[in-house]
Amino acid sequence: MRSATATAHPNIALIKYWGKRDAALNLPAVPSLSITLDGFRTETTVRWGAPADLVQIDGRRVEGKEAARVLAFLDRIDPARPPVEVLSQNNFPAAAGLASSASAFAALALAATAAAGLQPDRQALSVLARQGSGSAARSLWGGWVVWDRGERPDGLDSHAWPLAPADHWDLRLVVAVVSGSRKPVGSTEGMIRTQQTSPLFPAFVAAAPERLRLAIQAVQDRDLAALGEQMERSTYEMHATMISAWPPVRYWQEGTVACLRTVEELRAQGVGAWSTMDAGPNVKVLCEAAQAEGVAERLREHAARVEVLRIGGEPRVE
């Protein structure tokens, strides 16, 4: 039996991944850009060669679909693998409003390959993690990360790469948790429904490469207003495709609109703050480090819980 432990961090997309050009391989319809978050993390230990398969998340044995997804991922690493134990721990609650699948599959890719005695490079790990959950491809690096759409049917060119390290730009992400309850439609299902039924989906796909190009330029120039515009437009374009799906994939709640309005009011008062949302009702706000506490204070009027997070999150294997 060999064992390895790895840590990876969640990421938040500024230019959004939504839709798949291949659902089996998790190949995205669009390229995306994210920041990896410091502070929150998933730590996963894999024992390769155990008495029986076992998947445990946050101290609880998981079975059914959730376990099957993890075990199928291990089969991709080695179809003839021995029984494996996966013990995974998140230091952030599900109610923190951050998706855990990105840090989970990035940590699993690192720990499982190390426990299996393999030494893939980070690009190959990104390709592997992507097959567990698309956004996990981006959690193989800390800081500012781009995930290429790629063109190849086998997906070997659809991996992430580091655009800039965490210390390139000292911004904060303020997360306003409007609701910590389980989302009505999961990301994978929501994406597929959107892609199949929204007449706006092709427009979202067509706009994405230019959004990404302008966002990369803004990161390189450390131009928050330019980045903020591309980020907000990507979010609204994505949510427009969701709302125009049938049945609609509508994640917004009353508190969501209140937070979005607050960010616009802050901007009108001269505070450089821009919002983004994912497949849920929570609002995340990108701003200068010095203004983060003031932004958080205003958002607390509408959100049950508000966290100020730093950019960081380099993964590691022990």
Among 4, 77, 174, 279, binds ligand 2P0 (CB under 6 A): 279
> Should residue 286 be labelled a site residue for ligand 2P0 when binding is judged by CB under 6 A?
no
- Alpha-carbon dihedral 146, 312, 42, 47, rounded to 10 degrees: 80
> Should residue 241 be labelled a site residue for ligand 2P0 when binding is judged by CB under 6 A?
no
Residues in the chain: 318
Site string for ligand 2P0, 20-59 (x = CB under 6 A): ------x-----x---------------------------
Which residue is it, tokens 């491809």? Answer: 137
Least separation in angstroms between residue 189's CB and ligand 2P0 is 9
Please, which of residues 138-157 interact with ligand 2P0 by CB under 6 A?
A: none
Q: Rounded to an integer, what distance in angstroms lies between the CA atom of residue 89 and that of residue 92?
A: 9
Task: Report the DSSP pairing between strands 2-8 and 316-317.
Answer: antiparallel
Task: Examine residue 31 and say whether the peptide bond preceding it is cis (omega within 30 degrees of 0).
Answer: no
Instruction: Note whether 34 and 155 are within 8 A (CB).
Output: no
Q: Which residue is nearest to ligand 2P0 (CB)?
A: 134
- One-letter amino acid at 45 equals T
Site string for ligand 2P0, 181-200 (x = CB under 6 A): ------xx------------
Residues 6+ apart with CB under 8 A from 285: 173, 174, 175, 176, 259, 263, 273, 274, 275, 276, 295, 299
Taking the least distance from each CB to ligand 2P0, the nearer of 190 and 255 is: 190
Which residue is it, tokens 């904060």? Answer: 172
> Should residue 237 be labelled a site residue for ligand 2P0 when binding is judged by CB under 6 A?
no
Cα dist from 194 to 30, 149, 161, 232, 240, whole Å: 14, 18, 27, 19, 10
Least separation in angstroms between residue 73's CB and ligand 2P0 is 11
Token pair of 183 as six digits: 């989302």
Residues 6+ apart with CB under 8 A from 153: 22
Least separation in angstroms between residue 290's CB and ligand 2P0 is 27
> Should residue 13 be labelled a site residue for ligand 2P0 when binding is judged by CB under 6 A?
yes
Closest by CA position to 280, among listed 147, 198, 181, 200: 181
> Should residue 90 be labelled a site residue for ligand 2P0 when binding is judged by CB under 6 A?
no
Least separation in angstroms between residue 175's CB and ligand 2P0 is 14
Least separation in angstroms between residue 276's CB and ligand 2P0 is 9
Among 4, 8, 9, 17, binds ligand 2P0 (CB under 6 A): 17
> Should residue 278 be labelled a site residue for ligand 2P0 when binding is judged by CB under 6 A?
yes
Binding footprint of ligand 2P0, residue count (CB under 6 A): 15
Among 99, 128, 263, 303, binds ligand 2P0 (CB under 6 A): 99
* 3-state SS class at 3: strand
Taking CB under 6 A as the binding criterion, the range among 10-18, 160-168, 197-205, 249-257 that sits at the site for ligand 2P0 is 10-18
Token pair of 61 as six digits: 């044995």
Q: Could you list the residues that contact ligand 2P0 (CB under 6 A)? A: 13, 16-18, 26, 32, 99, 101, 133-135, 187-188, 278-279
